[in-house]
Amino acid sequence: MSLQVLWFVLWGLLWAVYFALDGFDLGAGMLYGTLGRSEAEKAAIRRSIGPVWDGNEVWLLTAGGAMFAAFPAAYALLFSSLYLPLLVILFALIFRGAALEFRGKGEGAAWGRTWDAVLGAASFVPALLFGVAFGNIFRGLPIDASGYQGSLVYLLNPYSLLTGVLFVLLFALHGALWIALKTAGELGARALRTAAGLWSYLLISVAGFLVSSYFSTGLAKNYLEAPAWIAVPLLAVGALFVTRIMIGKANAAGAFLASGATILLVTAAGLVGLYPNLLPSRLYSVFGLTIFNASSSPVTLKIMTVVALVFVPVVMAYQAWVYRVFRHKIDAGADGEAGY
């Protein structure tokens, strides 16, 4: 495996893990207003994501940093082309963090209502726009010899909006299951019911995504050339059905793990189709960026490989340990010292 291929896999892995982890934070944030009916329930939802959202968000930073170091030309083109959507994502993530930090530290009903609304909106927007961004990547960007030629309106095409909806539903289901897993009583039961409802919409959305990807993007090419890879989207659909079965058995932990696997596999399915492109051009394929014409030098890739192979497993180990420390259900009233 060449270093470029290895870094494509790592780059995809970082995004996939980011979506699977921050996905439930964002999903829980989206559902926060509807699921949390009392002040205690709202506090329980905030507290369920309180210890982990920050660490989860670092996967995004690492995915961005890895792209900068390993594929600088693609990093430069992607973020300057998708400038406004990315800006809105960043603003939303800032507000999401601020809402979680500030909500419990002020007084009065207006303070609470304001930050509650901010948390909901600031969780929904990144989910939608990450989907729109990846939809546009899958579909191809208008890139010619002098770079990106699109506009904001161009990015809001039906296929990418569909991908945005897919992301919103994936994250919402994942978030509902997180709340079901982490909270007891009526709130947990309500979250599980919501998850069951969301699942049907997600199934339709996944089917729509697969069919329209075949018609609107070049993702199908790799699958037609090497049909064995069809296992990846099939596994994604399989994980989605396992999620539903687990919800039916009221097994929140199993359903949460299955919805996490669904997110990982849906991302993987998209990236298998994308390979070896990073940013395909819709205009003339020669101007698109691939892992070969956008990559860093072998020296840099080797150094970064060592860094990634040493640190990423270590990070996964201590993050897993912290999740274990906080594995118990949220007990309303306790452990609220930091004010989440």
Partner 1 sequence: MSVLTLSRIQFAATAMFHFLFVPLTLGLSVLIAWWEARYVRTNDETYLRMAKFWGKLFLINFGLGVVTGITMEFQFGMNWAEYSKYVGDIFGAPLAIEATAAFFLESTFIGLWALGWTKVSKKVHALAIGLVAFAANLSALWILLANGWMQRPVGYVLRNGRAEMADFKALVFNGTGWSIFLHTVLSGYVLAAFFVMGVSGYHLLRKREEKLFGASFRTAALFGLASSVLVAVSGDMRGVDVARTQPAKLAAMESHWETESGAAMPLLAWPDARRETNSVDAVRIPKLLSFLSFHDFGAEVKGLRDIPAEERPPLLVTFLSFRIMVALGAVMILAALWAWIASKRGKLASSPRLLRLLLYAIPLPYVAIQLGWLLAEVGRQPWLVYGLYKTADGVSKSLSAGTVAVSLAGFVLIYGALAAVDIVLLAKFARKGPEEAVR
**Contact residues for partner 1, defined by CB under 8 A:** 47, 50-55, 57-58, 60-62, 64-66, 68-70, 72-73, 75-81, 83-84, 86-87, 90-91, 93-95, 97-98, 100-102, 105-106, 146-149, 296-297, 299-300, 303-304, 307-308, 311-312, 315, 318-319, 322, 325-326, 334-335, 337-340
* 3-state SS assignment for residue 141: strand
Q: Which of 84, 327, 331 is nearest to 184 (CA)?
A: 331
CB closer to partner 1, 175 vs 233 = 175
Neighbours of 19 (CB within 10 A): 27
CB closer to partner 1, 148 vs 199 = 148
Q: What's the closest the beta carbon of residue 261 comes to partner 1, in angstroms?
A: 22
183: CB partners within 8 A, 6+ apart: 41, 44, 45, 48, 191, 329, 330
| Beta-sheet strands, E only, within the chain | 143-144, 147-148, 277-279, 289-290
Query: Residue 277's Cα: distance from chain center in Å?
Result: 20
271: CB partners within 8 A, 6+ apart: 8, 12, 15, 16
What's the burial of 1, exposed, middle or buried (CB within 10 Å: 0-12/13-18/19+)? exposed
Q: What's the closest the beta carbon of residue 15 comes to partner 1, in angstroms?
A: 14
CB closer to partner 1, 237 vs 315 = 315
Pairwise CA distance, residues 262 & 254, whole Å: 12
Neighbours of 37 (CB within 10 A): 12
CB closer to partner 1, 101 vs 116 = 101
CB closer to partner 1, 234 vs 303 = 303
Q: What's the closest the beta carbon of residue 311 comes to partner 1, in angstroms?
A: 4
Q: What's the closest the beta carbon of residue 305 comes to partner 1, in angstroms?
A: 11
Q: What's the closest the beta carbon of residue 218 comes to partner 1, in angstroms?
A: 23
Contact 30, 194 (CB under 8 A): no
CB closer to partner 1, 226 vs 303 = 303
Q: What's the closest the beta carbon of residue 149 comes to partner 1, in angstroms?
A: 8
Rounded to whole angstroms, what are the CA distances from 311 to 67, 154, 296, 305? 16, 39, 20, 10
Q: What's the closest the beta carbon of residue 328 comes to partner 1, in angstroms?
A: 8
Count the helices and strands in the chain (H runs, E runs).
Answer: 13, 4
CB closer to partner 1, 47 vs 282 = 47
Q: What's the closest the beta carbon of residue 154 comes to partner 1, in angstroms?
A: 12
226-231, Cβ contacts within 8 angstroms, sequence gap of 24 or more: 229/272
CB closer to partner 1, 109 vs 228 = 109
